[in-house]
């Protein structure tokens, strides 16, 4: 099967990860790169033997030798370029967050046609432990689901010598802060493990900026949240409790769980050399008993997983691991979290709603 002829737009930190993963895959042929900083584009081309270099992404998209593109630059301008790519008949892999808001995702869905559109918020779906957890939940061993739980904190460190990238915490560039940067992974991970069967309907949340004494640790002009918490009620009375923070004035914490009437799963989303999935269940006679349902070592596929899945989806004529429909659910929840925090009240997500229909 012929490799997919791929162009990568954006040769910064995350673009370099895509380049390194793509060049190792027999399913991909790197044919072009583009970056507004031409020195970065030429450096990438020289390193990986890529013949064609562009400054503008829109010029790369017009290249007839390119059949698929990776959009590896901040969210503010990605949707516009994705729409141009679909209009040219190109397949698209977009970085996370998928877009600035749900309206943009809906525009991409309408414009996609029969092209493959994949999203990098799927990164943690490609670990064997994730597959094992997904299979276990699908077996019904947890019983009827009750709660899905994610609580993760990054502790504040010393002030960095170099300023962090400005897009990470500037709303106009990234749509938000820690929720858009990391929360999209948590939602994709847990919604994917539960088979994308959860239907979020009501969101109550609060967000906070970086603590004043730590403001100098972020890039100048940062105006997005560094800490959020949300309660998300889904159909059938299932509830997602969701909290994440960075630059926190507490010790680090990580917890992902899925709880049902018959038991609960303790999960680890991030890559670790050795992992374990624990199933807790209870009986009247013995109380809570813990069983390890999966353990082992995992290869770090964070950056190779999405791009290889993207290429294989194109050639196999199948949906990617996370397509625009799944990414829309993640974005609708994210939009509702922001609106709820702003308005100080619960926000409803209607079936098929975009951000304009959040009430």
The answer to whether 226 and 210 have CB atoms below 8 angstroms apart is yes
| Euclidean distance between CA atoms 2 and 58, whole angstroms | 25
120-148 pLDDT, tens digit each = 999 999 999 999 999 999 999 999 999 99
Q: Is 149 helix (H, G, I), strand (E, B) or coil?
A: strand
- Mean pLDDT over all residues of the chain? 95
| Euclidean distance between CA atoms 264 and 281, whole angstroms | 7
pLDDT at 306 over 50: yes
- Say what the pLDDT of residue 161 is: 84
- Say what the pLDDT of residue 273 is: 83
Q: How confident is the model at residue 327 (pLDDT cuts 50, 70, 90)?
A: very high
What is the arithmetic mean of pLDDT over 344-359? 68
DSSP E strands, the chain: 4-9, 28-34, 52-54, 68-71, 91-94, 117-119, 145-155, 200-208, 227-234, 239-248, 253-260, 264-267, 274-283, 287-297, 347-348
- Look up residue 220 and give its two tokens: 């100048």
**334: Cα within 13 Å, side-chain hemisphere:** 33
- Say what the pLDDT of residue 352 is: 59
pLDDT at 175 over 80: yes
Q: How confident is the model at residue 359 (pLDDT cuts 50, 70, 90)?
A: very low
pLDDT at 350 over 70: yes
Q: Where are the domains of the chain?
A: 4-121+303-322, 124-298+331-357
Q: How confident is the model at residue 164 (pLDDT cuts 50, 70, 90)?
A: confident
- Say what the pLDDT of residue 356 is: 41
- Say what the pLDDT of residue 42 is: 97
Give 93-144 as a DSSP string. EEPSSS-SSHHHHHHHHHHHTTS-EEEGGGGGGSSHHHHHHHHHHHTTTT-S
CATH superfamily of the domain spanning 124-298+331-357: Dihydrodipicolinate Reductase; domain 2 (3.30.360.10)
Give 246-282 as a DSSP string. EEESS--EEEEEEEESS-EEEE--S--SEEEEEEEEE
What is the arithmetic mean of pLDDT over 280-287? 92
In angstroms, how far is the first alpha carbon of the chain from the final one? 49
The rounded radius of gyration (Å) of the Cα atoms in the chain is: 21
pLDDT at 160 over 60: yes
59-115 pLDDT, tens digit each = 999 999 999 999 999 999 999 999 999 999 999 999 999 999 999 999 999 999 999
- Look up residue 212 and give its two tokens: 């004043």
- Say what the pLDDT of residue 354 is: 44
| Euclidean distance between CA atoms 68 and 82, whole angstroms | 11
- Look up residue 297 and give its two tokens: 């070592």
216-240 pLDDT, tens digit each = 999 999 999 999 999 999 999 999 9
- CATH 3.40.190.10 assigned to 4-121+303-322: no
| Antiparallel, parallel or unpaired: β 52-54 and 68-71 | unpaired
| Euclidean distance between CA atoms 129 and 125, whole angstroms | 9
At how many degrees (to 10) do helices 324-343 and 102-112 cross?
A: 160
| Euclidean distance between CA atoms 116 and 310, whole angstroms | 8
Calculate the alpha carbon distances from 296 to 132, 192, 335 in Å.
11, 21, 36
- Say what the pLDDT of residue 129 is: 97
- Say what the pLDDT of residue 355 is: 41
Q: How confident is the model at residue 353 (pLDDT cuts 50, 70, 90)?
A: very low
**Counts for the chain of helices (H) and strands (E), in that order:** 11, 15
How open is the CA angle 328-299-73, to the nearest 5 degrees? 40
> Could you give the percent of the chain with pLDDT greater than 90?
92
> What are the residues whose beta carbons fall under 8 Å from the beta carbon of 264, sequence distance 6 or more?
142, 257, 258, 279, 280, 281
The answer to whether 327 and 180 have CB atoms below 8 angstroms apart is no
pLDDT at 322 over 60: yes
> What are the residues whose beta carbons fall under 8 Å from the beta carbon of 156, sequence distance 6 or more?
211, 214, 217, 247, 248, 249
**Phi, psi for 289 (deg, rounded to 5):** -120, 140
pLDDT at 151 over 50: yes
- Say what the pLDDT of residue 259 is: 98
The answer to whether 241 and 187 have CB atoms below 8 angstroms apart is no
Contacts 24+ apart (CB under 8 A), 24-27: 24/304, 25/304, 25/307, 25/308, 25/311, 27/1, 27/3, 27/308, 27/311, 27/312, 27/315
């Amino acid at each position: 099967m012929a490799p997919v002829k791929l162009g990568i737009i954006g040769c910064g930190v995350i673009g370099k990860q895509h380049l390194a993963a793509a060049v190792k895959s027999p399913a991909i042929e790197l044919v072009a790169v583009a970056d507004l900083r031409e020195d970065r584009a030429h450096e990438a081309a020289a390193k990986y033997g890529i013949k064609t270099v562009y400054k503008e992404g829109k010029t790369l998209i017009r290249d007839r030798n390119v059949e698929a593109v990776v959009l590896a630059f901040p969210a503010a301008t990605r949707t516009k370029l994705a729409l141009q790519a679909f209009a040219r008949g190109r397949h698209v892999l977009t970085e996370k967050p998928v877009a600035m808001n749900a309206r943009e995702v809906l525009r991409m869905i309408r414009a996609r046609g029969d092209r493959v559109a994949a999203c990098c918020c799927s990164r943690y779906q490609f670990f064997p432990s994730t597959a094992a957890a997904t299979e276990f939940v699908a077996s019904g061993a947890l019983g009827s689901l009750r709660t899905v739980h994610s609580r993760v904190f990054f502790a504040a460190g010393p002030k960095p010598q170099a300023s962090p990238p400005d897009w990470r915490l500037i709303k106009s560039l990234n749509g938000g802060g820690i929720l858009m940067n990391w929360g999209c992974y948590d939602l994709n991970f847990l919604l994917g493990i539960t088979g994308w069967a959860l239907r979020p309907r009501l969101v109550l949340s609060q967000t906070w900026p970086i603590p004043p004494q730590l403001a100098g640790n972020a890039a100048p002009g940062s105006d997005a949240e560094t800490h959020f918490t949300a309660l998300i009620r889904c159909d059938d009375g299932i509830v997602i409790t969701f909290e994440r923070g960075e630059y926190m004035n507490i010790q680090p914490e990580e917890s992902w769980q899925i709880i049902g009437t018959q038991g609960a799963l303790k999960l680890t989303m991030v890559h670790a050399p050795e992992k374990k999935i624990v199933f807790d269940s209870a009986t009247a006679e013995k109380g809570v008993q813990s069983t390890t349902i999966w353990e082992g070592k995992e290869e770090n596929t964070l950056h190779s997983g999405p791009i290889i899945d993207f290429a294989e989806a194109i050639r196999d004529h199948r949906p990617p691991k996370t397509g625009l429909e799944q990414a829309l659910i993640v974005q609708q929840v994210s939009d509702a979290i922001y609106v709820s925090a702003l308005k100080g009240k619960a926000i409803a997500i209607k079936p098929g709603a975009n951000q304009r229909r959040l009430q």
